[in-house]
Structure 1
Amino acid sequence: MYLSRLRIQNLALVDALDAEFSSGVIAVTGETGAGKSMILGSLHLLLGHRADADWVRKGASRAVVEGMFELDDTPADDARRAALAAQGFELGKEEPLILRREVNESGRSSASIAGRMAAIGQLADIAQSFVDIHSQHDQQSLSQKRWQRQALDAFAGTEDLARRVRDQHAAWHACRKELDDWMARERELRRHEDLLRFQLAEITKAELRNGEEQDLEQRENVLANAEDLKSTSASLLDLLEEEQSGMLVQLQHAARLAQHLQQVDRDTHDWIAAVSSALISLNDLRIQAASYASRLDVDPGELVMVQNRLHEIAQLKKKYGNSVSEILGFAEKIEEELKTVGSFDEHVGELQRRSDALFATLGDLAADLTEKRRKAAKKLAAQVVKELAQLGMQQAAFTVSLTPLPEVGASGGEDIEFLIAVNPGEDPKPISKVASGGELSRITLALKCVATSRDDVPLLVFDEIDAGVSGTVAHAVGERLHKLGATHQIFVITHLPQIACRSSEHFAVTKSVAGSRTTTEMHLLPPGERENEIARMLGGASATALAHARELLSGNGEARRRRTP
């Protein structure tokens, strides 16, 4: 993965810039004050850093920075595509990743990832996983213990073992949490066990059944209106059974008339069937009404019993649910909780045994990881010291501290920290508290070179890596940057020709004034202009400087640019 294109509009002194890059080492040079730091400022915006209204060019309504990153067909870039897709930013197989940041004149900013609007935090999380800036004020990863631990594991080849420790710790922690939850739950259940048993006994004693309340309410309604119902049903029976004009008598007469009509006219044959059917229905109604009326002779005490039962159910509803069904459901939950209390010791014992086994395995894995880390730490420190000596820090003492933790954690059984003493006689201290900006960049370069094949951050930016160095050390810095450029894309902002000449592409930053407007520009140098820029960095445009520039460039032909501008 590498940055293939950078577009900047109305950012500080930049009016409009559109630069394309290849992979490898890209040198950025120019006079002091020309605006070389714009590359840092633009990348800071793409990394989600805080925006400022002062960054918007005077007279413009907004500043825009857009970076295009090419992803290769590698497992690392496939993983990056998958991570982007998981956050909703899906890319095609050969589609570049475009990050964009806009800042308006009031200082408010917005971001987009792969053409979709994104939160600034999302932009930061994504961009900072593949861009690392090293400058006097910006050491993104070097001072972070997480990065230092990962760097040691990468050097030691213990990344898989560290992952197993992390997974084992997660499994043990989940089991332990479940055990703790059960312990807390058991204490609560023990406190409420008596209450639970009382509640269950109260519900069980009531002998409730689903639908009972509705049946009782209907029966109460009948009993309360028994006299009226009895009178009404008696009137219905009179209407059906009255000897002279009752409905049954009338229908019987109608049946005789229909039979007479049929004897004369066969077309009336169906009438007899209709009258007979009505007669059967009315007779059934009479039987049912008589039976219903007989059941209305009820015991006066039954109404009181029904009302008492309804009152009992109402009292239970106040405590345990809004219906008989809910009360019975509550009783089932109580039974389950009481069963849980009964099987608690067995279940907790099983969890404790599982937790102990997981923790024992975690301890074994962590001990193995610790041993491998300690062995690798000595080798890493020795190789970094050797690299630092070549980078002008001959007196530096670099160590990797492994401090045992009280308990094995997700990262292992120790706290890992890189310590350095820049000057003789000093005790090693955390890197960020001791080294200057230039020293931090060289320490980073040394670490990157020692573990270059295992580093998963593909784009590195070095600013002020040449601070306080010259001559042989400058050549050594350039050589190591060139070596690192075989596996990374490197942007190096430098004042030293020994470093610039080792780049595969060389961009010059210039500042010009037209009228009352100052503008910063950056362009790729062709061979002739590159010689002139190297000569300028050597001290001027003299014949001697030009000859020296040609010598530097010809002596580093293997590091020339990979494409012709």
Structure 2
Amino acid sequence: MLRRLEVQNLAVIREAALDLAPGLNVLTGETGAGKSLFVDALALLLGGKPEGLVGPFGDSLLVTAFFQGEGEERVLSRRVGARSTPRIDGEVVSLRELAEEAERWASLHAQHAAFALLRPKRQEEALDALLDPALKAAYREAYARHRALLAEKEALERALRQKAEREDLLRFQLKEIREAKPAPGEDEALEGEARRLRHLETLRARAGRAYALLTEEGGADLLAQAARELQAAARVDGGLEPLLQDLEGALRAVRAVAVELEAYLEGLEADPARLEALEARLALLERLKRKYGPTLEEVLAHAERLEEELRGLEGGEERLKALEEALGAAWAEVRSRGEALGRARQEAARRLEAAMGEELAVLGLPQARFLVELIPLPEPGPSGLEEVAFRFSANPHLPPGPLSGASGGELARLALALALLTGAEAPTVVLDEVDAGLGGEAAWRVAERLARLAQRRQVLVVTHLPQIAAKADRHFRVVKEGEGVRVELLEGEARVRELARLLSGQYTEAALAHARGLLEGG
């Protein structure tokens, strides 16, 4: 439901807020006071045009609505000035996104703003509310399955048209990788070997100098002399024995390193052919990595994907044949379920037409005619084989036409009747001009039906009829105040006085007594 509506700088409203209640909420006030501006405010959230609505109290207007449902809350707002800024829960969104979210919460029926009822989608939803939900669910399931199969078939046909070219490319890439026979980590090992061959002279000079320092220049001899001296000293002082052992170990290690360096130097031979082969192999591996992956592991994984795709293309014709058979069965199911849905709609349409005729007569439109037209579609659509269109005429001499030709009051009463008969409305229903041209017994009947609807939905009504105002669970009055307006929540005697004003325009004892009687009877 709509918990709170805040308005800033909307036409003559500087700043105002409505804290709404569940059930029936009513706005009354003098003619021209600005009651319908709150309906205009909600229309802005539903995507309405803001022409002429920015007031004189600033450069922009702001409308904020606080909605609350079962375990869910939403704050919808729209600022209009040099540009429009729609928001949902503080996040900037497109105007379309804001309108779609607002439609989940509120249905608006007013002059030039009957967004809900004039849309074919809402007319379809109203009729389908009278059906077994399983019928439409079954059709949508069949339609979605057919669409999925069709999309798969089209994609496969595109692939098959390009099959030869694609297969050539896949086979070329796979051959390039398979012939190279890369191994994980091979590039790193080859790079190490090639690096040694590239820097052979540097390695020979450095390793040779190290060998000379250890042998020819007496490195090991000096350690041997030191060991002999320490051995003699250890005969006198046994505490030197550990140092002697360390020194002898170092001497053995130096001699071992010298032996290995000698073998290393003997193996350092130039091999231009080997280096050339290594460079060629590394260039091949680098080219594969550039084309198919940053590592050889990725190159091998790409080869596996190529093989899988090739297998898929090789079975494409068989899959296409299977898809065509499945599509035929799916199409037959779409038609079958669509026809069942269409028959149910025909039956529901006749029932709704009869019930609407009776309800509109009660609501002050005794000669009105309401028809439901089911227009066959050239191709099955997401919601069925036909389009639902409501037709209406308040004049018995004119054929029923589109609802866009109805007046604001007629639209509001159509919406009220449909809401009562179908239950296909948003949690909050907003009605303006529902009382246009009404009085006497018809006013009481409209008031009674608004109260009945308010038992199932939150209802916000702009009215001048005391019969409707007396049924309100929460009653607001819009009052002119200087250049702007003020909104008052009416309770107690203040509400009695407003009903008296609506009854007679005066606050006489008779009018006040009549007003109290309305409240007691309401």
Structures share fold, TM-score greater than 0.5: yes
Q: 1:284 to 1:339 in 2, by over 3 A?
A: farther
In the other structure, the counterpart of 2:129 is: 154
Q: Higher mean Cα deviation, 142-151 or 384-393?
A: 384-393
Which residue, out of 177, 180, 191, partners 2:165? 191
Q: How does 1:538-557 map to 2 (within 5 A)?
A: 546=510, 554=517, 557=520
In the other structure, the counterpart of 1:446 is: 417
Mapped contact 2:5–2:63 kept (Cα < 8 A)? yes
Which residue, out of 490, 502, 505, partners 1:524? 490
Q: 1:234 to 1:425 in 2, by over 3 A?
A: same
Q: Specify the code of the residue in structure 2 equivalent to 1:341.
A: L
Q: Specify the code of the residue in structure 2 equivalent to 1:369.
A: L
TM superposition shift of 1:303: 3.6
Q: How does 1:274-289 map to 2 (within 5 A)?
A: 274-289=246-261
Q: 1:536 to 1:43 in 2, by over 3 A?
A: farther
Q: 1:435 to 1:285 in 2, by over 3 A?
A: same
Q: Specify the code of the residue in structure 2 equivalent to 1:137.
A: H
In the other structure, the counterpart of 1:94 is: none
In the other structure, the counterpart of 1:32 is: 31
Q: Specify the code of the residue in structure 1 equivalent to 2:453.
A: L
Helix, strand or coil at the partner of 1:138: coil
Verify: 1:219 aligned to 2:218, yes or no.
no
Q: 1:53 to 1:279 in 2, by over 3 A?
A: farther
Verify: 1:128 aligned to 2:103, yes or no.
yes
TM superposition shift of 1:147: 0.9
TM superposition shift of 1:141: 0.7
Mapped contact 1:501–1:553 kept (Cα < 8 A)? no
In the other structure, the counterpart of 1:460 is: 429
For residues 283 and 79 of structure 2, the distance between their equivalents in structure 1, rounded to whole angstroms, comes to: 71
TM superposition shift of 1:190: 3.2
Q: How does 1:197-216 map to 2 (within 5 A)?
A: 197-216=171-190
Q: 1:358 to 1:533 in 2, by over 3 A?
A: same
Aligned length: 519
Which residue, out of 533, 541, 554, partners 2:501? 533
Which stretches in structure 2 are left out of the alignment for 5+ residues? none
Helix, strand or coil at the partner of 2:139: helix
Q: 1:469 to 1:285 in 2, by over 3 A?
A: same
In the other structure, the counterpart of 2:245 is: 273
In the other structure, the counterpart of 1:56 is: 55
In the other structure, the counterpart of 1:435 is: 406
Q: 1:475 to 1:338 in 2, by over 3 A?
A: same
In the other structure, the counterpart of 1:373 is: 345
Q: How does 1:103-502 map to 2 (within 5 A)?
A: 116=90, 119=93, 121=95, 124-156=99-131, 158-226=132-200, 229-230=203-204, 233=207, 237=211, 239-242=213-216, 246-297=218-269, 301-313=273-285, 316=288, 319-320=291-292, 324-345=296-317, 360-424=332-396, 426-432=398-404, 434-451=405-422, 454-497=423-466, 499-500=468-469
TM superposition shift of 1:495: 4.1
Q: 1:512 to 1:536 in 2, by over 3 A?
A: farther
Q: Specify the code of the residue in structure 2 equivalent to 1:442.
A: R
Helix, strand or coil at the partner of 1:32: coil
In the other structure, the counterpart of 1:562 is: none
Helix, strand or coil at the partner of 2:262: helix
Q: 1:288 to 1:392 in 2, by over 3 A?
A: same
Mapped contact 1:53–1:108 kept (Cα < 8 A)? no
Mapped contact 1:401–1:417 kept (Cα < 8 A)? yes
TM superposition shift of 1:126: 3.8
Q: Deviations over 1:197-216 (max 9, x none)?
A: 23322332233333434444
Q: Deviations over 1:142-197 (max 9, x none)?
A: 111111111111123x3343234334434443444344334434444431212322
Q: Deviations over 1:118-155 (max 9, x none)?
A: 65846544443333222221102111111111111112
For residues 502 and 292 of structure 1, the distance between their equivalents in structure 2, rounded to whole angstroms, comes to: 106
Mapped contact 1:475–1:499 kept (Cα < 8 A)? yes
Mapped contact 1:132–1:461 kept (Cα < 8 A)? yes
For residues 66 and 201 of structure 2, the distance between their equivalents in structure 1, rounded to whole angstroms, comes to: 92
Helix, strand or coil at the partner of 2:130: helix
Q: 1:529 to 1:181 in 2, by over 3 A?
A: same
Mapped contact 1:35–1:520 kept (Cα < 8 A)? no
Same amino acid, percent of matched pairs: 33
Which stretches in structure 1 are left out of the alignment for 5+ residues? 72-76, 90-97, 560-565
Mapped contact 1:130–1:456 kept (Cα < 8 A)? no
Mapped contact 1:133–1:461 kept (Cα < 8 A)? yes
Mapped contact 1:389–1:395 kept (Cα < 8 A)? yes
Helix, strand or coil at the partner of 1:366: helix
For residues 215 and 311 of structure 2, the distance between their equivalents in structure 1, rounded to whole angstroms, comes to: 64
Q: 1:326 to 1:420 in 2, by over 3 A?
A: same
TM superposition shift of 1:365: 3.6
TM superposition shift of 1:383: 0.8
Helix, strand or coil at the partner of 1:462: strand
Q: 1:508 to 1:226 in 2, by over 3 A?
A: closer
Q: Specify the code of the residue in structure 2 equivalent to 1:177.
A: A
Coordinate RMSD, CA, aligned: 4.0
Q: Deviations over 1:488-545 (max 9, x none)?
A: 33333334455555556655544465xxx565555527364255324326xx7789xx
Mapped contact 2:27–2:476 kept (Cα < 8 A)? yes
Mapped contact 1:509–1:523 kept (Cα < 8 A)? no
Q: 1:216 to 1:110 in 2, by over 3 A?
A: closer
In the other structure, the counterpart of 1:93 is: none
Helix, strand or coil at the partner of 1:129: helix
Q: 1:550 to 1:378 in 2, by over 3 A?
A: farther
Mapped contact 2:44–2:50 kept (Cα < 8 A)? yes
* TM-score of the aligned structures, taking structure 1 as reference length: 0.76
Q: Specify the code of the residue in structure 1 equivalent to 2:457.
A: H
For residues 470 and 99 of structure 1, the distance between their equivalents in structure 2, rounded to whole angstroms, comes to: 37
